[in-house]
Protein backbone atom coordinates (compact mmCIF):
# COMPACT_ATOMS: atom_id res chain seq x y z
CA UNK A 1 0.00 0.00 0.00
CA UNK A 2 1.34 3.37 -0.97
CA UNK A 3 -0.82 6.30 -0.01
CA UNK A 4 1.79 8.79 -1.14
CA UNK A 5 0.92 7.73 -4.70
CA UNK A 6 -2.31 9.71 -4.31
CA UNK A 7 -1.74 13.20 -5.61
CA UNK A 8 -4.05 15.61 -3.75
CA UNK A 9 -4.17 18.10 -6.62
CA UNK A 10 -5.20 15.44 -9.11
CA UNK A 11 -7.59 14.02 -6.54
CA UNK A 12 -9.48 17.29 -6.17
CA UNK A 13 -9.42 17.91 -9.92
CA UNK A 14 -10.87 14.45 -10.63
CA UNK A 15 -13.35 14.91 -7.79
CA UNK A 16 -14.89 17.76 -9.77
CA UNK A 17 -15.09 15.55 -12.84
CA UNK A 18 -16.69 12.70 -10.88
CA UNK A 19 -19.19 15.09 -9.31
CA UNK A 20 -20.42 16.68 -12.55
CA UNK A 21 -22.76 13.91 -13.80
CA UNK A 22 -24.32 13.78 -10.34
CA UNK A 23 -24.64 17.52 -10.22
CA UNK A 24 -26.28 17.79 -13.65
CA UNK A 25 -28.78 15.03 -12.92
CA UNK A 26 -29.52 16.34 -9.44
CA UNK A 27 -30.15 19.92 -10.52
CA UNK A 28 -32.58 18.72 -13.19
CA UNK A 29 -34.42 16.53 -10.71
CA UNK A 30 -34.43 19.38 -8.20
CA UNK A 31 -36.34 21.59 -10.64
CA UNK A 32 -38.82 18.80 -11.38
CA UNK A 33 -39.35 18.16 -7.67
CA UNK A 34 -39.74 21.88 -7.00
CA UNK A 35 -42.64 21.70 -9.47
CA UNK A 36 -44.09 18.84 -7.42
CA UNK A 37 -43.04 15.94 -9.63
CA UNK A 38 -41.10 12.99 -8.25
CA UNK A 39 -39.40 11.44 -11.26
CA UNK A 40 -37.66 8.22 -10.25
CA UNK A 41 -36.59 7.67 -13.85
CA UNK A 42 -33.35 9.65 -13.51
CA UNK A 43 -31.22 6.54 -13.93
CA UNK A 44 -33.06 5.63 -17.14
CA UNK A 45 -32.83 9.13 -18.58
CA UNK A 46 -29.13 9.28 -17.75
CA UNK A 47 -28.29 6.03 -19.45
CA UNK A 48 -30.29 7.01 -22.54
CA UNK A 49 -28.47 10.34 -22.55
CA UNK A 50 -25.18 8.49 -22.20
CA UNK A 51 -25.74 6.36 -25.29
CA UNK A 52 -27.41 9.11 -27.37
CA UNK A 53 -24.52 11.44 -26.69
CA UNK A 54 -21.97 8.72 -27.31
CA UNK A 55 -23.52 7.55 -30.57
CA UNK A 56 -23.94 11.03 -32.03
CA UNK A 57 -20.48 12.22 -31.09
CA UNK A 58 -18.91 9.07 -32.53
CA UNK A 59 -20.92 9.44 -35.74
CA UNK A 60 -20.34 13.16 -36.18
CA UNK A 61 -16.99 13.50 -34.45
CA UNK A 62 -18.34 16.43 -32.49
CA UNK A 63 -18.66 16.14 -28.70
CA UNK A 64 -20.81 19.27 -28.63
CA UNK A 65 -23.40 17.73 -30.94
CA UNK A 66 -23.15 14.64 -28.75
CA UNK A 67 -24.09 16.59 -25.66
CA UNK A 68 -26.98 18.25 -27.50
CA UNK A 69 -28.20 14.82 -28.59
CA UNK A 70 -27.88 13.57 -25.00
CA UNK A 71 -30.06 16.40 -23.72
CA UNK A 72 -32.61 15.68 -26.43
CA UNK A 73 -32.46 11.93 -25.70
CA UNK A 74 -33.04 12.45 -21.99
CA UNK A 75 -35.87 14.88 -22.67
CA UNK A 76 -37.56 12.53 -25.15
CA UNK A 77 -37.54 9.73 -22.59
CA UNK A 78 -38.90 12.08 -19.95
CA UNK A 79 -41.71 12.91 -22.39
CA UNK A 80 -42.96 9.36 -21.77
CA UNK A 81 -43.04 10.21 -18.08
CA UNK A 82 -44.99 13.38 -18.91
CA UNK A 83 -47.56 11.38 -20.85
CA UNK A 84 -47.90 8.82 -18.06
CA UNK A 85 -48.06 11.13 -15.07
CA UNK A 86 -49.51 14.38 -16.42
CA UNK A 87 -51.97 13.09 -19.00
CA UNK A 88 -52.67 9.47 -18.03
CA UNK A 89 -52.50 10.43 -14.32
CA UNK A 90 -50.46 7.34 -13.47
CA UNK A 91 -48.68 6.84 -10.16
CA UNK A 92 -45.38 8.74 -10.26
CA UNK A 93 -43.35 6.14 -8.39
CA UNK A 94 -44.42 3.33 -10.71
CA UNK A 95 -43.97 5.49 -13.81
CA UNK A 96 -40.48 6.48 -12.75
CA UNK A 97 -39.54 2.84 -12.24
CA UNK A 98 -40.97 2.03 -15.66
CA UNK A 99 -38.85 4.79 -17.15
CA UNK A 100 -35.70 3.39 -15.59
CA UNK A 101 -36.39 -0.21 -16.63
CA UNK A 102 -37.29 0.89 -20.16
CA UNK A 103 -34.32 3.26 -20.40
CA UNK A 104 -31.84 0.56 -19.36
CA UNK A 105 -33.26 -1.77 -22.03
CA UNK A 106 -33.45 0.72 -24.86
CA UNK A 107 -29.96 2.04 -24.13
CA UNK A 108 -28.33 -1.36 -24.40
CA UNK A 109 -30.29 -1.93 -27.60
CA UNK A 110 -29.06 1.37 -29.03
CA UNK A 111 -25.52 0.80 -27.83
CA UNK A 112 -24.89 -2.63 -29.34
CA UNK A 113 -22.66 -1.43 -32.16
CA UNK A 114 -20.85 1.11 -30.01
CA UNK A 115 -19.20 -1.20 -27.49
CA UNK A 116 -15.44 -0.80 -27.45
CA UNK A 117 -15.33 2.41 -29.50
CA UNK A 118 -13.60 5.55 -28.32
CA UNK A 119 -15.47 8.86 -28.47
CA UNK A 120 -13.83 12.04 -29.76
CA UNK A 121 -12.10 13.95 -26.99
CA UNK A 122 -14.00 16.93 -25.62
CA UNK A 123 -10.86 18.85 -24.80
CA UNK A 124 -10.23 21.15 -21.89
CA UNK A 125 -10.46 24.86 -21.62
CA UNK A 126 -7.18 26.35 -20.54
CA UNK A 127 -8.02 29.74 -19.19
CA UNK A 128 -4.93 31.84 -19.88
CA UNK A 129 -2.92 32.90 -16.85
CA UNK A 130 -5.35 31.38 -14.34
CA UNK A 131 -4.68 27.81 -15.45
CA UNK A 132 -0.95 28.33 -14.96
CA UNK A 133 -1.25 29.07 -11.26
CA UNK A 134 0.31 26.14 -9.41
CA UNK A 135 -2.10 23.88 -7.45
CA UNK A 136 -5.19 26.07 -7.99
CA UNK A 137 -4.72 26.16 -11.77
CA UNK A 138 -5.02 22.40 -12.39
CA UNK A 139 -7.80 22.11 -9.81
CA UNK A 140 -10.07 24.91 -10.95
CA UNK A 141 -9.11 26.15 -14.38
CA UNK A 142 -8.21 23.16 -16.53
CA UNK A 143 -11.50 21.40 -17.10
CA UNK A 144 -13.88 20.67 -19.94
CA UNK A 145 -16.62 23.21 -20.74
CA UNK A 146 -19.48 20.98 -19.51
CA UNK A 147 -18.09 21.02 -15.99
CA UNK A 148 -18.27 24.81 -15.94
CA UNK A 149 -21.68 24.65 -17.57
CA UNK A 150 -22.86 22.45 -14.68
CA UNK A 151 -21.74 25.01 -12.10
CA UNK A 152 -23.27 27.84 -14.11
CA UNK A 153 -26.50 25.88 -14.30
CA UNK A 154 -26.65 25.70 -10.52
CA UNK A 155 -26.30 29.47 -10.32
CA UNK A 156 -28.95 30.02 -13.00
CA UNK A 157 -31.44 27.63 -11.41
CA UNK A 158 -30.84 29.19 -8.01
CA UNK A 159 -31.38 32.73 -9.31
CA UNK A 160 -34.44 31.80 -11.35
CA UNK A 161 -36.08 29.90 -8.51
CA UNK A 162 -35.39 32.62 -5.98
CA UNK A 163 -35.78 35.88 -7.83
CA UNK A 164 -37.79 35.40 -11.00
CA UNK A 165 -41.50 35.20 -11.68
CA UNK A 166 -41.00 31.89 -13.49
CA UNK A 167 -39.41 30.50 -10.36
CA UNK A 168 -42.26 31.74 -8.22
CA UNK A 169 -44.85 30.09 -10.45
CA UNK A 170 -42.85 26.85 -10.47
CA UNK A 171 -42.66 26.82 -6.70
CA UNK A 172 -46.33 27.67 -6.37
CA UNK A 173 -47.23 24.70 -8.54
CA UNK A 174 -45.00 22.48 -6.44
CA UNK A 175 -46.28 23.71 -3.10
CA UNK A 176 -50.00 23.69 -3.79
CA UNK A 177 -51.19 22.75 -7.24
CA UNK A 178 -54.84 23.43 -6.49
CA UNK A 179 -54.10 26.99 -5.42
CA UNK A 180 -51.84 27.51 -8.42
CA UNK A 181 -54.59 26.20 -10.67
CA UNK A 182 -57.11 28.53 -9.03
CA UNK A 183 -54.78 31.44 -9.74
CA UNK A 184 -54.90 30.52 -13.40
CA UNK A 185 -51.49 28.93 -13.81
CA UNK A 186 -51.27 25.96 -16.13
CA UNK A 187 -50.16 23.29 -13.67
CA UNK A 188 -49.72 20.57 -16.25
CA UNK A 189 -47.78 22.82 -18.61
CA UNK A 190 -45.40 24.02 -15.89
CA UNK A 191 -44.81 20.47 -14.72
CA UNK A 192 -44.29 19.22 -18.26
CA UNK A 193 -41.58 21.81 -18.83
CA UNK A 194 -39.95 21.02 -15.48
CA UNK A 195 -39.90 17.29 -16.28
CA UNK A 196 -38.43 17.94 -19.73
CA UNK A 197 -35.75 20.15 -18.17
CA UNK A 198 -34.99 17.38 -15.70
CA UNK A 199 -34.75 14.87 -18.54
CA UNK A 200 -32.39 17.06 -20.53
CA UNK A 201 -30.14 17.61 -17.51
CA UNK A 202 -30.08 13.89 -16.69
CA UNK A 203 -29.23 13.19 -20.34
CA UNK A 204 -26.32 15.63 -20.16
CA UNK A 205 -25.13 14.00 -16.96
CA UNK A 206 -25.24 10.58 -18.60
CA UNK A 207 -23.30 11.80 -21.63
CA UNK A 208 -20.72 13.33 -19.30
CA UNK A 209 -20.04 9.83 -18.00
CA UNK A 210 -19.83 8.17 -21.43
CA UNK A 211 -17.94 10.99 -23.19
CA UNK A 212 -15.63 12.50 -20.58
CA UNK A 213 -15.49 10.61 -17.33
CA UNK A 214 -15.02 7.02 -18.53
CA UNK A 215 -14.96 7.62 -21.75
CA UNK A 216 -16.48 4.65 -23.53
CA UNK A 217 -19.81 2.84 -23.72
CA UNK A 218 -20.73 -0.17 -21.60
CA UNK A 219 -24.19 -1.43 -20.75
CA UNK A 220 -25.60 -0.08 -17.50
CA UNK A 221 -22.57 2.16 -17.12
CA UNK A 222 -24.37 4.77 -15.01
CA UNK A 223 -24.36 2.16 -12.19
CA UNK A 224 -26.75 3.91 -9.84
CA UNK A 225 -25.54 7.49 -10.32
CA UNK A 226 -29.10 8.49 -11.20
CA UNK A 227 -30.36 7.05 -7.93
CA UNK A 228 -27.63 8.78 -5.96
CA UNK A 229 -28.68 12.02 -7.70
CA UNK A 230 -32.19 11.45 -6.36
CA UNK A 231 -30.79 11.04 -2.87
CA UNK A 232 -28.74 14.16 -3.43
CA UNK A 233 -31.88 16.25 -3.93
CA UNK A 234 -33.08 15.14 -0.50
CA UNK A 235 -29.61 15.82 0.90
CA UNK A 236 -29.74 19.31 -0.58
CA UNK A 237 -33.16 20.01 0.99
CA UNK A 238 -34.19 21.18 -2.50
CA UNK A 239 -31.62 24.01 -2.49
CA UNK A 240 -29.38 24.31 -5.59
CA UNK A 241 -26.17 25.33 -3.85
CA UNK A 242 -26.44 22.52 -1.36
CA UNK A 243 -26.81 20.16 -4.32
CA UNK A 244 -23.45 21.43 -5.54
CA UNK A 245 -21.84 20.77 -2.17
CA UNK A 246 -23.46 17.34 -1.98
CA UNK A 247 -22.34 16.41 -5.49
CA UNK A 248 -18.75 17.31 -4.63
CA UNK A 249 -18.97 15.33 -1.43
CA UNK A 250 -20.16 12.22 -3.29
CA UNK A 251 -17.71 12.87 -6.12
CA UNK A 252 -14.99 13.02 -3.51
CA UNK A 253 -16.01 9.70 -1.97
CA UNK A 254 -16.09 8.01 -5.38
CA UNK A 255 -12.72 9.33 -6.40
CA UNK A 256 -11.16 8.59 -3.05
CA UNK A 257 -12.29 4.96 -3.05
CA UNK A 258 -11.02 4.55 -6.63
CA UNK A 259 -7.68 6.02 -5.58
CA UNK A 260 -7.53 3.78 -2.55
CA UNK A 261 -8.22 0.79 -4.80
CA UNK A 262 -5.37 1.83 -7.06
CA UNK A 263 -3.07 2.43 -4.11
CA UNK A 264 -3.71 -1.14 -2.97
CA UNK A 265 -5.19 -0.49 0.47
CA UNK A 266 -5.76 -3.65 2.51
CA UNK A 267 -9.55 -3.32 2.19
CA UNK A 268 -10.91 -5.58 -0.59
CA UNK A 269 -11.93 -3.77 -3.78
CA UNK A 270 -15.59 -4.81 -3.46
CA UNK A 271 -15.93 -3.21 -0.05
CA UNK A 272 -14.44 0.04 -1.29
CA UNK A 273 -16.76 -0.06 -4.31
CA UNK A 274 -19.85 -0.33 -2.11
CA UNK A 275 -18.86 2.67 0.00
CA UNK A 276 -20.59 5.41 -2.07
CA UNK A 277 -23.89 3.54 -1.77
CA UNK A 278 -23.54 2.97 1.96
CA UNK A 279 -22.61 6.59 2.53
CA UNK A 280 -25.66 7.64 0.51
CA UNK A 281 -27.82 5.63 2.90
CA UNK A 282 -26.09 7.14 5.94
CA UNK A 283 -26.57 10.65 4.60
CA UNK A 284 -30.23 9.93 3.88
CA UNK A 285 -30.68 8.71 7.45
CA UNK A 286 -29.08 11.80 8.93
CA UNK A 287 -31.04 14.22 6.79
CA UNK A 288 -34.41 12.50 6.65
CA UNK A 289 -35.49 13.93 9.96
CA UNK A 290 -36.19 17.32 8.40
CA UNK A 291 -38.83 17.04 5.69
CA UNK A 292 -40.11 20.59 6.12
CA UNK A 293 -38.38 21.87 3.01
CA UNK A 294 -39.91 19.29 0.66
CA UNK A 295 -42.40 20.76 -1.83
CA UNK A 296 -45.84 20.12 -0.35
CA UNK A 297 -47.41 18.70 -3.50
CA UNK A 298 -44.45 16.41 -4.26
CA UNK A 299 -45.60 13.21 -5.91
CA UNK A 300 -49.28 14.09 -5.84
CA UNK A 301 -51.38 13.69 -8.96
CA UNK A 302 -53.13 16.76 -10.28
CA UNK A 303 -56.36 16.76 -12.23
CA UNK A 304 -58.55 19.82 -12.52
CA UNK A 305 -61.69 17.81 -11.63
CA UNK A 306 -60.51 16.91 -8.14
Partner 1 sequence: MIRLEKRPQPSQTWSMATPLVAVVATMIFGGALFGVLGTNPLAAIRTIFFDPLFGEFAFYYRPQLLVKGAPLVLIAIGLSLGFKAGIWNIGAEGQYIIGALVGAGIGLAFYPLEAWYIFPLMILGGAFGGFVWAAIPALLKVRFGTNEILVSLMLVYVAEQFLASMSLGLMKNPEGFGFPGSRNLQEYASAHNTELIAGSGMHLGVVFAFIAVIFAYVLLNRHMLGFQIRLTGEAPRAARFAGVKPARLILFCLGTSGALAGLAGLFEVSGPAGQINIDFNVGYGFTAIIVAFLGRLHPVGILLAGGLMALTYIGGEIAQGQLGLPAAAIQVFQGMLLFFLLALDLLTNFRLRLAKGEVA
Closest approach, Cβ 231 to partner 1, in A, equals 5
201, 20 in Cβ contact below 8 A? no
Closest approach, Cβ 129 to partner 1, in A, equals 43
SS (H, E, C) the chain: CCHHHCCHHHHHHHHHHHHHHHHHHHHHHHHHHHCCCCCCCHHHHHHHHHHHHHHHHHHHCCHHHHHHHHHHHHHHHHHHHHHHHHHCCCCHHHHHHHHHHHHHHHHHHHCHHHCCCCCCCCCCCCCCCHHHCCCHHHHHCCCCHHHHHHHHHHHHHHHHHHHCHHHHHHHHHHHCHHHHHHCCCCHHHHHHHHHHHHHHHHHHHHHHHHHHHCCCCCCCCCCCHHHHHHHHHHHCCCCHHHHHHHHHHHHHHHHHHHHHHHHCCCCCHHHHHCHHHHHHHHHHHHHCCCCCCCCCCCCCCCCCCC
Closest approach, Cβ 72 to partner 1, in A, equals 19
Nearer to partner 1 among residue 201 and residue 228 (C-beta) = 228
Closest approach, Cβ 162 to partner 1, in A, equals 26
Closest approach, Cβ 212 to partner 1, in A, equals 23
Rounded Cα distance between 266 and 272, Å, is: 10
Closest approach, Cβ 234 to partner 1, in A, equals 7
Closest approach, Cβ 63 to partner 1, in A, equals 25
Query: Which residue ranges make up the site for partner 1 (CB under 8 A)?
Result: 40, 80, 83-84, 88-91, 93-95, 97-98, 101-106, 108-109, 112, 219, 223-224, 227-228, 230-231, 234, 268, 270-271, 273-274, 277-278, 280-281, 284-285, 288-289, 291, 303-306
Nearer to partner 1 among residue 129 and residue 266 (C-beta) = 266
Rounded Cα distance between 218 and 225, Å, is: 14
Closest approach, Cβ 85 to partner 1, in A, equals 9
Nearer to partner 1 among residue 16 and residue 27 (C-beta) = 27
Q: Comparing C-alpha atoms, which of 80, 46, 7, 82 is closest to residue 200?
A: 46
Nearer to partner 1 among residue 64 and residue 301 (C-beta) = 301
Nearer to partner 1 among residue 20 and residue 280 (C-beta) = 280
Nearer to partner 1 among residue 72 and residue 106 (C-beta) = 106
Nearer to partner 1 among residue 5 and residue 281 (C-beta) = 281
Nearer to partner 1 among residue 2 and residue 270 (C-beta) = 270
Amino acid sequence: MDLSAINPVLLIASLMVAATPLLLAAIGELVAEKAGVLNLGVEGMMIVGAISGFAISVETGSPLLGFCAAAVGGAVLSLLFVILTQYALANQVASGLALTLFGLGISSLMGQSYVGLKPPSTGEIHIPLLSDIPVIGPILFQHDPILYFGIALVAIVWALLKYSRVGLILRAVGENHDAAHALGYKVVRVRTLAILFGGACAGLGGAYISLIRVPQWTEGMTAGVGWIALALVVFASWKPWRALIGAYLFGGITVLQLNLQAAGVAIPVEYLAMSPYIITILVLVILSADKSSAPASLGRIFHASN
